[in-house]
């Protein structure tokens, strides 16, 4: 690529996150006469790609169409043909990060939702009761992706007073160690400057269930009504899917935002380290357990159970931790025969421990 061509590409794509490292990754495709671009939308086997020649429509069938983890997705940097009818995406560049969830199919395949994301913005509406378990689930996927999570509590104007908002923020912070928690109102603008500063650098993906206020938040950050907004039901705060595809949009103040459809199901996909990050206080406690493979169920010398007993660790957190770890194990085991055998062995061990604990308790009862 000539210096003038490189300058034109940089000027056109810099607002979408193009940098010298991406230029180096693209170099082999440049010699083939292909164009660099970023995928801003995917639907029905085709995608819109922003390039130095503008937004091009291209077919994605050339890039491993039968593997849901290797299909082209919103946020990918790709090498696209400069012409042709149809025009094809020839390859995508190695992803720096990838937000992946488990599909709802029996095969439990991974589904990639967004690529090359720096911040995962989890939108949680304050118009309904907080679901801390769902927040923890989103955060596990976010940490696993390699992105920095942020929790945005939307519709804060519907909460009657600032003290209540502060308590709700504190509740979420307890369930989201190391994660910024920002209450926001798109009605009066409160908190929007904080979120804009966070998403102003790099690429952010906007996540949450239907009715969480994602499209309203996206419009507020964009400074115009780009995304359609629909009313939510008063009874449960849910709404229809306003956004039906994942759309990548350059923000006026810098940075890039990927808006996503509301996610009804958020299945884990090989997210053990992400779960560990969400429950970092439990992982730290576990290091002080008597046994290195303590399951925190009934083992003697368990520091985690002791923390629950002392009131230092909410029992709800431990239940949520166990639930997500078990779910993640099941997903991984479906594709790993060795792990399935280890899990069966572990279940037998835990059963024996539980039985011994019950017998010891029964013996102590009779002796008393």
d(Cα 210, Cα 198) in Å, to the nearest integer? 23
Any residues with CB less than 8 A from the CB of 168 and at least 6 apart, and which? 126, 130, 153, 159, 183
pLDDT, tens digit, 9 for 90 and up, residues 214-246 = 889 999 999 876 655 544 444 444 444 444 567
CB atoms within 10 A of CB 49: 28
Could you write out the DSSP letters of every residue in 269-307?
A: -S-HHHHHHHTHHHHHHHTTSSSTT--SSS-TT-HHHHH
Of 329, 93, 210, 160, which Cα lies nearest the Cα of 168?
A: 160
Where do the DSSP E strands lie in the chain?
35-43, 46-51, 54-59, 77-80, 89-92, 98-102, 110-115, 119-125, 148-154, 181-183, 203-207, 247-250, 256-259
Asked whether residue 347 carries a pLDDT value surpassing 90, the answer given is: no
Q: What pLDDT is attached to residue 102?
A: 76
Predicted local distance difference test score (pLDDT) of residue 242: 47
198 or 66, higher pLDDT: 198
* Per-residue pLDDT band at 139 (split at 50, 70, 90): very high
Mean pLDDT of 281-309: 91
Q: Contact, 263 vs 275, CB < 8 A?
A: no
Are the C-beta atoms of 54 and 76 separated by less than 8 Å? Answer: no
Count of CB atoms situated within 10 Å of the CB of 31: 8
- 109 compared with 1, residue with greater pLDDT: 109
Comparing 94-108, 120-134, 198-212, 239-253, the range with the smallest average pLDDT is: 239-253
Residue spans of beta strands (DSSP E) within 98-216: 98-102, 110-115, 119-125, 148-154, 181-183, 203-207
Provide the whole-model pTM. 0.81
The pLDDT assigned to 103 comes to 65
Kindly tell me the burial class for residue 52, based on how many C-beta atoms sit within 10 Å of its own C-beta (0-12, 13-18, 19 or more).
middle
Q: Confidence band (pLDDT; 50, 70, 90) for 10? A: confident
**Whole-angstrom distance, CA of residue 172 vs CA of residue 180:** 10
Provide the sign of the torsion angle of the four alpha carbons 40, 41, 42, 48, taken in this order: negative
Return all residues near 77 (Cβ < 8 A) that are at least 6 apart: 18, 22, 25, 26, 36, 37, 38, 39, 92, 93, 116
Helix, strand or coil for residue 336?
Answer: coil
Q: What is the DSSP letter of 65?
A: T
User: Binning pLDDT at 50, 70 and 90, where does residue 293 land?
Assistant: confident
Burial-class residue 224 by CB neighbours within 10 Å (0-12, 13-18, 19+).
exposed
What dihedral angle (degrees, nearest 10) is formed by the CA atoms of 340, 345, 349, 352? 110
Looking at the DSSP bridge assignments, the partners of residue 207 are 122
Mean pLDDT (the chain) is 83
In this prediction, residue 110 carries a pLDDT of 75
Phi-psi category of residue 301: left, alpha or beta, with phi > 0 → left and psi -120 to 50 → alpha: left
**Least confident segment among 100-114, 160-174, 215-229:** 100-114
Q: What is the rounded (10 degree) CA torsion for 13, 19, 23, 26? A: -70
40-90 pLDDT, tens digit per residue, is 999 888 999 999 999 999 999 888 666 777 889 999 999 999 988 889 999
- Backbone torsions φ then ψ of 141, nearest 5 degrees: -65, -40
- Name the DSSP class of 121: E
Q: Report which of residues 145 and 261 the model is more confident about.
A: 145
Please give the pLDDT value at position 268. Answer: 72
φ and ψ at residue 258, rounded to 5 degrees = -105, 115
Q: Exposed, middle or buried: residue 37 (CB in 10 Å: 0-12, 13-18, 19+)? A: buried
């Amino acid at each position: 690529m000539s210096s003038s061509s490189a300058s034109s590409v940089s000027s056109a794509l810099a607002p979408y996150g193009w940098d010298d490292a991406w230029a180096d990754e693209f170099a082999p495709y440049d010699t083939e006469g292909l164009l660099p671009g970023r995928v801003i939308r995917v639907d029905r086997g085709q995608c819109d790609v922003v390039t130095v020649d503008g937004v091009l429509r291209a077919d994605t069938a050339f890039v491993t169409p039968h593997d849901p983890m290797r299909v082209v997705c919103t946020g990918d940097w790709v090498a696209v043909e400069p012409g042709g009818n149809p025009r094809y995406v020839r390859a995508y560049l190695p992803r720096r990060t990838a937000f992946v969830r488990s599909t709802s199919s029996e095969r439990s395949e991974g589904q990639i939702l967004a690529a090359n994301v720096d911040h995962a913005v989890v939108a949680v509406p304050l118009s309904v009761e907080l679901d801390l378990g769902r927040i923890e689930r989103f955060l596990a996927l976010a940490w696993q992706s390699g992105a920095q999570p942020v929790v945005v509590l939307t519709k804060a104007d519907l909460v009657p007073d600032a003290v209540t908002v502060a308590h709700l923020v504190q509740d979420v912070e307890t369930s989201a160690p190391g994660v910024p928690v920002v209450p926001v109102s798109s009605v009066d603008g409160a908190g929007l400057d904080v979120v804009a500063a966070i998403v102003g650098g790099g690429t952010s993906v906007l996540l949450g269930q239907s009715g969480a206020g994602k499209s309203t938040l996206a419009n507020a950050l964009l400074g115009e009504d780009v995304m359609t907004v629909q009313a939510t039901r008063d009874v449960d705060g849910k709404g229809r899917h306003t956004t039906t595809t994942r759309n990548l949009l350059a923000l006026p103040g810098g940075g890039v935002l990927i808006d996503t459809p509301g996610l009804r199901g958020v299945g884990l996909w090989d997210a053990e380290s992400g779960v560990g990050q969400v429950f970092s206080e439990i992982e730290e406690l576990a290091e002080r357990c008597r046994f290195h493979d303590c399951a925190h169920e009934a083992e003697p010398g368990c520091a985690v159970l002791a923390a629950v007993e002392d009131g230092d660790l909410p029992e709800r957190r431990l239940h949520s931790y166990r639930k997500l770890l078990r779910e993640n194990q099941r997903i991984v085991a479906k594709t790993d025969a060795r792990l399935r055998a280890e899990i069966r062995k572990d279940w037998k061990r835990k059963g024996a421990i539980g039985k011994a604990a019950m017998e010891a308790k029964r013996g102590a009862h009779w002796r008393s």
